[in-house]
Amino acid sequence: MTAGRAVTVVETGPLATVQDAGRPGQAALGIGRSGVCDRTSYRLANRLVGNEAGAAVLEVTFGGLVLRAETDVVIATTGARCPGGPHNAPERLAASQQLRLGPPVTGLRTYLAVRGGIAVAPVLGSRSTDLLAGLGPAVLSPGTRLPVGEPTGPMPGVDVAAVADPTAGDLVVHLLPGPRRDWFDDTAWTELLGQEYAASNDSNRIGVRLEGRPLERTRTGELPSEGMVRGALQVPQSGSPVLFLADHPVTGGYPVVGYVHDDDVDRCGQLRPGQAVRFTASHEAVDRRAGRSSAG
């Protein structure tokens, strides 16, 4: 048993939750994957403090977190860089010392890993808070004491990881045709690829709502709900696409016109309200089609 290793949340900022790699394998039961929005930054945070790959961390939205160490701990922050401490680097926090994260310079979500991992009780195999399904640990609130697990591996011997900060400018991501690309004509597809969208204020862990000229469907009628994964670009009646992130519904009833390539989805999790995003056609779809025809 751990001897009371813990950190306490003093202030949360706009939203802070416990997250890990989520709940894969349960979507057939209506249980979504959830987990961190930016998986790349999450993996780095755990590596920097010598944690196992699936350890739980804090996902801090637009800074503002104040954390007090109850015992000596080692932490690292990754993702959106907040003033207040080293970034992309392990850091010691002595008992009773506080870490105070200011608003991030760029990006939206900061990952804070503690050596040993955040050891709250898992729910259905994961410590992730799923805001859509209402599963997992409660959203963090001031005064929450978070148990920290025992370290399981050695420190990596890295002082600073050289990774780029989330972009402050336009984000450009690769888009693949989705299952309902044929609900839209080529004009709409060109419009989707040609225009600049802005991430709306209503965006959250479920999805990024995109503001731009609405897309028109060529096909009307209802679509029976169908399964989707993160990166889906769904077009509701309004014509303004929603780009789904970690807490997306397991199934949706609006046509998915396209998918952001999985390699680019993490960067969409760093989009700030008002930030511009553009789509560029991915060539991977062509590769898959070629593979299929050669297989007969």
**Identity of the residue, 26 or 167, whose beta carbon is nearer to other proteins in the bound complex:** 26
Q: What is the token pair recorded at 190? A: 């060109």
Least CB distance from residue 19 to other proteins, whole Å? 17
**Identity of the residue, 45 or 250, whose beta carbon is nearer to other proteins in the bound complex:** 250
Least CB distance from residue 260 to other proteins, whole Å? 7
Least CB distance from residue 178 to other proteins, whole Å? 7
**Identity of the residue, 20 or 77, whose beta carbon is nearer to other proteins in the bound complex:** 20
Least CB distance from residue 26 to other proteins, whole Å? 8
At position 121, the amino acid (one-letter code) is A
**Identity of the residue, 221 or 291, whose beta carbon is nearer to other proteins in the bound complex:** 291
Q: Are 226 and 179 in contact (CB under 8 A)?
A: yes
Least CB distance from residue 10 to other proteins, whole Å? 29
**Identity of the residue, 143 or 227, whose beta carbon is nearer to other proteins in the bound complex:** 227
Q: Are 61 and 15 in contact (CB under 8 A)?
A: yes
Q: What is the token pair recorded at 224? A: 């029976």
**Identity of the residue, 133 or 198, whose beta carbon is nearer to other proteins in the bound complex:** 133
**Identity of the residue, 3 or 295, whose beta carbon is nearer to other proteins in the bound complex:** 295
* Beta-bridge partner residues of 243: 208, 233
Least CB distance from residue 203 to other proteins, whole Å? 19
Among residues 284, 46, 292, the alpha carbon closest in space to that of 176 is found at 284
Residues that bind other proteins (CB under 8 A): 24-31, 33, 123-124, 133, 135, 176-181, 224-229, 231-232, 249-251, 256, 259-263, 282, 284-285, 288, 291-292, 295
Least CB distance from residue 66 to other proteins, whole Å? 31
Sequence-separated (6 or more) residues with CB below 8 Å from residue 228: 234, 244, 248, 249, 250, 251, 252, 256
